Structure 1
């Protein structure tokens, strides 16, 4: 009888764990789609609404602002209503935003629709990060990277999927970027199904047992982690928004060829998270970030300097930048195991601030350098985009520099992870 009871409990735990894995893995799949279909879509939006590069930069910055806004209240929402409810709300918001994007009539309504979508993205990312930190208590680096592998998988497929869907004929006209967004974001409904039936662990922890925000922000290591993650993520996310534009306008590549290169970046990105995740547990989280972010930055610099013949280096940069985010999440989960909600919410919120600034700076730098070649608009645009992408590379290198500072700080105190 006792053995049957134990077997029944074990079966229920495994079943619930499977549901939670479906939510986490499925959530990251959807997150990758929503983030990275914009690459092929942005040039079409720019053409339809006659937008400048500065307006594109502002659009992406407003997106990051929506993400940032969501980050500020997601932790409180999760503590009040639970991670399960928060995750379901996030999926619903993303599906609804697809309809808003479809109905956008001008730049203002498009910006508001994107802003709303990124609120859903922010909700989802924090909820998934908290959930993953709670359930991946063993081989944390490997499991975090495996979860984000699914983000890389959908990110790899997203540009090609977007380019293909935009050309599909439906009811006598092309689906376009509007219909493409509506269809892709409608997939957000699917991971809601296992979320409805899963039970999320950790909500029963008493408030006095949790890490306080005051204690967290007094830790110097916390601020170094914030800086490290911010530089890494600005570099990572900027690729989806700017690489296609760069290849089309600097090298004159076709939409399909540019989308294929972006997909190659995400192929490297995806494989790095799948294969390098286990190594981060063995080599150490901070050491791994030092090496990998430096590799990414050097590849991007090499691609810009080498010109069109070195374009493949843009794709290889994905190998280095891919493990940064999940490895930092593993570091937070291990270092602040008694307060993952506080640590993750604060860190990702600060990262969101950096993303807003970073996206704006890329657009501003592009426009600034473009203005130096008023007599030759084409040369000016190429120079501007090269400078903007140079900033993306610099962020990856700065991530490595901050990681070195974190390594020295933690090593002196015997707290190295």
Structure 2
């Protein structure tokens, strides 16, 4: 599973490990925003509606990063640009801890989105280049994100009890400063892309059916993941059968534990996919995983017994674990050839991350959570359709410029 590490020279191995560590930090940033939101609301007097705007601002920054992080390296080089753009995420978290001014808070969430999105863009592209699109490497990279996502809520809870809620944010900032330093010291292949090369400026890959299938898969997957992450706890607390069985106190603890379980299983699933991808085509793995994800999510919506709901959530996390990293890995021809391709995939995904959580909230307000969560199921079914099409697609060696 780690054979790609043994084939690397020391400088490339250090860069790969830096990407792994930076994605761990990115996972902490992602989950720390949700962990800190109740304290942000209480300390800065934020309304529920403005809190929702802030979460959307983070997704907007993530989408902007898809384009900015693909263009800035032409002027600053890849090494300097990722060090600069990654630092924006931790600048944003510092602003959250020290000010409650609405405009600055909005800017802070946008900055965290730009920083996180830039790290996602750089890491997925760089790991694909360093490992020649190894699915195992892509899954291990995203497993590091899952470790950070699991670590963040526990670190926030511990540090907020020892000191104050801001301590959790500053902990992530310190970890992020180390990641920025490591990026700045790294030796990055093809550090300054040639702006005169046709591939550096073109978006002709958008004419390719195979790339559009990858984009559709990314859009549907991020629709599902962001909406599940954002609404799972609230949905479980509003599920009448669980509330009746556990009561108010029990359902609150259960719903939070299910969010932790989801990411713990995602971590296990990504490590499993890293091993399986050596034996099974990643196109087949994504198709089977999409079917499993749809079945488990539907089971969660239909089930009323606590053990069944728990099993469906665990199964859903295990199935969804490897889909995103394998999309990046399967698109390696485009992302390695065209500097804007990785950012474009990220932008498609970020668009889904903006739209679906808001749609679920709107539908829940008008028709309740039981109905609104079916919108997520629709996106998972569409993901399955795209995955089925992808099993029949072959990535072409060239893209027409005309």
TM-score range normalised by the length of the shorter chain: 0.7 to 0.9
Equivalent of 1:195 in 150, 164, 183? 183
SS in 1 for 2:337: coil
Residue 19 of structure 1 corresponds to 14
Q: What is the Cα deviation at residue 368 of structure 1?
A: 1.9
Q: What is the Cα deviation at residue 230 of structure 1?
A: 0.9
Equivalent of 1:294 in 271, 291, 294? 291
Equivalent of 1:408 in 384, 388, 392? 392
Residue 239 of structure 1 corresponds to 228
Q: Normalising to structure 1: TM-score of the pair?
A: 0.82
Q: Which runs of 5+ in 1 are unaligned?
A: 1-10, 370-383
What CA distance in whole angstroms lies between the structure 2 residues aligned with 1:344 and 1:187?
Answer: 25
- Preserved CA contact (<8 Å) 2:223 2:357: yes
Q: What is the Cα deviation at residue 125 of structure 1?
A: 1.2
Q: List aligned pairs for 1:125-164, cutoff 5 A.
A: 125-137=120-132, 140-164=134-158
Residue 255 of structure 2 corresponds to 258
Q: What is the Cα deviation at residue 123 of structure 1?
A: 1.6
RMSD (Å) for aligned C-alpha atoms: 2.8
- Preserved CA contact (<8 Å) 1:236 1:322: no
Question: For residues 22 and 414 of structure 1, do their structure 2 counterparts lie closer, same or farther at Cα, with a shift above 3 Å needed?
Answer: closer
Residue 8 of structure 1 corresponds to none
Question: For residues 63 and 311 of structure 1, do their structure 2 counterparts lie closer, same or farther at Cα, with a shift above 3 Å needed?
Answer: same
What CA distance in whole angstroms lies between the structure 2 residues aligned with 1:70 and 1:120?
Answer: 7
Q: What is the Cα deviation at residue 205 of structure 1?
A: 5.9
Q: What is the Cα deviation at residue 401 of structure 1?
A: 1.1
* Residues matched between the structures, number: 380
Alignment of 1:271 with 2:268, yes or no, is yes
| CA deviation vs aligned residue, 1:296-352 (integer Å, no higher than 9, x gap) | 22212211211351331223211111111110111121355322x221111211222
Q: 230-239 vs 323-332, which deviates more?
A: 230-239
Question: For residues 386 and 56 of structure 1, do their structure 2 counterparts lie closer, same or farther at Cα, with a shift above 3 Å needed?
Answer: farther
What CA distance in whole angstroms lies between the structure 2 residues aligned with 1:84 and 1:224?
Answer: 30
Residue 168 of structure 2 corresponds to 180
- Preserved CA contact (<8 Å) 2:282 2:330: yes
Residue 122 of structure 1 corresponds to 117
Equivalent of 1:348 in 346, 354, 371? 346
Residue 216 of structure 1 corresponds to 205
What CA distance in whole angstroms lies between the structure 1 residues aligned with 2:275 and 2:377?
Answer: 26
What CA distance in whole angstroms lies between the structure 1 residues aligned with 2:23 and 2:252?
Answer: 26
What CA distance in whole angstroms lies between the structure 2 residues aligned with 1:409 and 1:190?
Answer: 41
Q: Which runs of 5+ in 2 are unaligned?
A: 1-5
Residue 362 of structure 1 corresponds to 360
Q: Normalising to structure 2: TM-score of the pair?
A: 0.85
Q: What is the Cα deviation at residue 179 of structure 1?
A: 3.8
Q: What is the Cα deviation at residue 289 of structure 1?
A: 1.5
Equivalent of 1:165 in 155, 159, 168? 159
- Preserved CA contact (<8 Å) 2:223 2:353: yes
Equivalent of 2:61 in 66, 69, 74? 66
Q: What is the Cα deviation at residue 414 of structure 1?
A: 11
Q: 258-267 vs 22-31, which deviates more?
A: 258-267
Residue 7 of structure 1 corresponds to none
